[in-house]
Amino acid sequence: MSGWEKIWQETSARELWSVPDCLVLELATRWKQSASIHRVLDLGCGVGRHVLLLASMGFETYGLDHSEAALETCRARLQAAALTAQLHRGQMNDLPFADGYFDAVVAFNTIYHGTAREVDAMVELVRRKLRAGGEFFATLPSRDNRLYGKGEMIEPHTFCDPRMYKELLGGEGESGVPHHFSSREEVHQFYRRYSIQSLAHEELRLALPARRGTTVSWLPISKSYFWRVVARREDSHDG
């Protein structure tokens, strides 16, 4: 059983990652207002916090994750909310969709689980799956992140720590999963075939449990710096 399969079987992890991220909500609102974004993929959707958000806003929503436990939770939440989305079990580097299929892709805390070459390949794969003018939102850990340099170095700026995010995810955390940490220059290199619309350097924020009738509060995790990238495929479809 993979580390994430175990993580998603924990109630605490499912609850921790149940509230949509603020920036994804802002982006989805802008996408809806633009009337040009209709078909959206949540890449590495987990238990479906962004799948549910997108589906509730009327997007044609797709989710992909390799964890069956996560997808089971996502399906149950969709059913409970009377929402629909197409869910696929699979690996991120093997997307079962035609080139140019999506208007937008969301990849929150997912595509950096590999070497620099693998991250670069993922960014290019997503570009192929976007139509011209489609947008890609992703997060990438910064080299200012407090976990940079922890554990075994797989290659420069890529580390595998058996305790990675254990305090947030419980159990064994992301044990055995490599994490690549990027500089601003490297982010621009990854997105060299896109037009970057915004690039922010921020601490990871987690939603605090809210009592019924109260708004969600967000807690920044100290020194957990990530790049938040919104990029657009400007060119015509060229494979």
CATH number at residue 80: 3.40.50.150
CA 19 to chain centre: 13
Mean per-residue pLDDT, 183-187? 98
Asked if residue 152 is part of any domain, the answer here is yes
Domain that holds residue 98: 3-232
Per the domain annotation, does 239 fall within a domain?
A: no
Structural domain includes residue 238: no
Tally of structural domains, the chain: 1
Q: Is 4's pLDDT higher than 70?
A: no
**Residue of 74 and 214 predicted with greater confidence:** 74
Percent of the chain exceeding pLDDT 70 equals: 83
- Is 237 contained in some domain? no
Q: What pTM value is reported for the model? A: 0.90
Long-range contacts, stretch 65-71, CB < 8 angstroms, 24+ apart: 65/89, 66/2, 66/4, 66/90, 66/91, 66/92, 67/2, 67/4, 67/5, 67/8, 68/5, 69/5, 69/8, 69/9, 70/4, 70/8, 70/45, 70/46, 71/45
Confidence of residue 165 (pLDDT cuts 50, 70, 90): low
Confidence of residue 94 (pLDDT cuts 50, 70, 90): very high
For residue 158, give both structure tokens.
Answer: 């890529």
**Looking at the domain assignment, is residue 88 inside a domain?**
yes
Q: How many CB atoms lie within 10 A of CB 155?
A: 11
Q: Is 55 part of any domain? A: yes
Q: Say yes or no to pLDDT of 195 above 70.
A: yes
* Residues 157, 147: Cα–Cα separation, whole Å: 11
Q: What CA–CA distance (Å, rounded) separates 92 from 126? A: 9
Q: Residue 204 is encoded by which pair of tokens?
A: 């990871």
- Shortest CA distance to 99 belongs to which of 127, 80, 71? 127
